[in-house]
Chain A
Amino acid sequence: MRCVAAERRGIALPLVLWALVIGSALLTVAVFLILQEQRAGQAGRRLVHTFTRAEADLAEALQGWTPGSLNRALPGVRDSLGTVGSDLTIRRLNQGLFLLAVSVRDGATEARLGRLVRVRPVHLAATAALTSGGQVRLDDAATISGEDLPPAGSEDCPPADSAVAGVAAPSVLATASSVIKGSPPSIERPWADSGLAFEDLLVFHDLMSQATLTLASGTWQTRPATVGTVCNPLVPENWGDPNAPGGPCGAYRPIVYVAGDLELLSGRGQGILLVEGHLTVHGPYDFAGLLMVRGGLDVASGDSAVRLNGAVFAGSLGSQTTPPAVLSITYSKCLLSKALLSSGQLVPLRTRSWKALF
């Protein structure tokens, strides 16, 4: 019997093996298809997840930022602040325009979205180069001009305004040699007990709440400060550089609030300067932007000039008589606009602010 059994070649084993092969192949195909579907489904889920998170992050990206804080964080033209938190990059395009970019990654899937935002600045109506709620007293070497003067060599200024008044004040005492230009040269306005007119006072308080530098009263000498070739906004004496628009601090325009009286020694600065008390400026001094002084503004320049370009609001103005102060206040819509672009709030562009980034 053993001999007979050994010689018979059954087909059970080949059949079983064949069935196993077929079964395995079938199972492999099924598993492959299931995995493919699962991967495709997961990729789709990741796509939705990353996109949704990126869009939510983009919507939240504006929170916590103001034009003032962004101006401090990005003091140079075309600075880029990357990466804030985990996935946000902020790029400065010019004085008032920024690109926020969010990148969210989940595995191999990435969503990159951008939003173009701009500054909606505090509204301020400047009707004169110098607006005063009290008496304005000008000596021989004082020149006040309401004719719009864009800064020399600037290519990024809006079209020049028609001239505003030179002086808007309840009383102007000027020597024959002092110059007041504008359309008209001077206009009369009521006395303001609090130094500034009510509407200007509202702007003062609004800007004060957005101050990026709050200084104690005292004597300050301001000039640009850099770390290497990068503007350093951490130095309180750094109020930007009006004389070098393309320089490291050329786009840095802080909102400076001084809680009391301020005496400025020679130097330069730009942006918005808010003085709660009295301001005395010694020349040479150049300031570009908006100057609001609740108390009086005195200029004691001697032979050196004090140049205030943009717009000035003061409780009163007096320039030193002996020796005569060389004072120049010139209205500049461009410089005023640039200063105000450090204030207000950030808003997405009216149209086409949302951008998928590739």
Chain B
Amino acid sequence: MRALTSRGVSLVEVLVALTLTGLLASAAAGVLCHTQNFYRAATQEIDVSQSLRVAGAFLPAELRELDAADGDVVAMAPTAVTIRAARQLAALCRPPWPGDVPGSVRLTLRTPAFSELSDLNPATDSLWVFREGDPLSPEDDDWVAAAITALEPDTCPDGGTGRLVTAFPRFATGQTLETGQVAAGAPVLGFETVTYRLYRSSADRRWYVGMETSSDLQPVLGPVTDDGLVFTYLDSTGAPAAQAAQVRAIEFRVRARTVEAIRTRDGRLDRPLDSLVGVVFLRNNPRF
């Protein structure tokens, strides 16, 4: 009875069904493939945008605070810049006094510091100590660089907590550190010498913008192209600066490409390129 009520399928029906199924499967596969391509392309392009955003936020933050006239631009090259990057701001709670080792001075910094990106590290950080000289004359104010040799806890004269820093001043020409030239309350800046440069990772053979310290090189952004970081150093007239001390603004150009090839709208496989150009005016060059 069942055989009589069940209808079979003819060859034509099978063929039609197979054709329709094939068409649907092809369409579905196409949609899936297109979705995957779209997702890959979007994430790749977002990664590139993100790298450029990092460049736009990070590099100006580091470069803005420089005083090129006072030696903060240590070395300048088209694809690398070595700077004294500010890390801490604190104040002395008593005037400096001579250390045990000839040529050294001791400084008591009030803690906590006003601002601290990282803890003072004698291995990597140095100091700028504000030297007021004649308190009635702003014109003779300057900063004395000092290399840190030791750090230990201390107490300020008013009983507050402090940190005793033993340091060796590195006087510029004509600078001295005499009694009364640096007063209690004088600001002290901690800085670290770092290099921002283009480098090729040995791991994936791609180019990155890295931050190099005395002990470390770590990627800051990337991957970028092999010409993905270019600095131009400008003087006060906007012309290229001949010497580091003349730099008043730094133009940076970052070029990044997607890591993987993505299909463009015209169907080609390509690694699209995006770039960012910014000009950072140095805020701390001498004002008068």
Contacts and interface: CB of A to CB of B under 8 A. Distances in A.
Interface of A: 3-4, 11, 15, 18-19, 22, 25-26, 29-30, 33, 36-37, 40, 44, 47, 77-78, 91-97, 99, 101, 112, 114, 116, 118, 120-121, 123, 155-159, 246, 337-338, 340-341, 347-358
A2 B46 CA distance: 56
B119 to A, nearest CB: 12
8 contacts: A19-B28, A29-B38, A33-B46, A114-B114, A341-B136, A350-B141, A350-B287, A354-B284
B283 A357 contact: no
B100 interface: no
Contacts of B220: none
Contact of B35 (A22, A350, A353, A356): A22
Q: Is the interface of A mostly helix, strand, loop or mixed?
A: mixed
A25 to B, nearest CB: 7
Interface of B: 5, 7, 21, 24, 28, 31-32, 35, 38-39, 42-43, 46, 49-50, 53, 56-57, 61, 64-65, 67, 69-70, 86, 89, 91, 94-95, 114-117, 128, 130, 132-136, 138-139, 141-143, 158, 178-181, 183-187, 189, 283-288
A357 B53 contact: no
Contacts, number: 150
A351 B65 contact: no
A95 to B, nearest CB: 7
Contacts of B179: 159
A101 B91 CA distance: 15
A354 B69 CA distance: 15
B142 A351 contact: yes
B158 A246 contact: yes
A348 B70 contact: no
A351 B69 contact: yes
Contacts of A341: 135-136
Nearest to A150: B180
A337 B136 contact: yes
A350 B116 contact: no
B86 A93 contact: no
A234 to B, nearest CB: 25
B183 A156 contact: yes
B94 A155 contact: yes
B56 A44 contact: yes
